[in-house]
């Protein structure tokens, strides 16, 4: 199994797809309720805690160009805490 495939599987194991809306619901940990980046989905990858939306984007499309923003609301459907 490729590293890209294993990262995708790790992320998707924590995602539930809402049958009605098609939204991706993050069921894993977040960065908490306070502080920088509060509420964003987080996961451990290679021994580091990373933002899931950035890990997924990088895994699927490559590194994020300078000053480009990614948000959990970007397609594919939003990753949001249930």
CA–CA separation, 43 and 55 (whole Å): 9
Residue partners of 56: CB distance under 8 A and separation at least 6? 8, 11, 79
CA–CA separation, 59 and 55 (whole Å): 6
Q: What pTM, to 2 d.p., does this model score?
A: 0.70
Residue-level pLDDT at 31:
86
Q: Give yes or no for residue 8 having a pLDDT over 80.
A: yes
The string of pLDDT tens digits covering residues 14-61 is: 999 999 999 999 999 988 888 777 888 999 999 999 999 889 989 998
Residue-level pLDDT at 38:
81
Domain ranges of the chain: 3-81
22 against 74, higher pLDDT: 22
């Amino acid at each position: 199994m490729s590293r890209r495939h294993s990262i995708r599987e790790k992320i998707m194991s924590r995602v539930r797809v809402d049958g009605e809306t098609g939204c991706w619901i993050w069921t894993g940990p977040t960065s908490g309720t306070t502080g920088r980046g509060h509420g964003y989905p987080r996961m451990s990858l290679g021994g580091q805690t990373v933002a899931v939306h950035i890990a997924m984007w990088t895994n699927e499309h490559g590194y994020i160009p300078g000053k480009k923003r990614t948000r959990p609301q970007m397609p594919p459907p939003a990753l949001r805490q249930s």
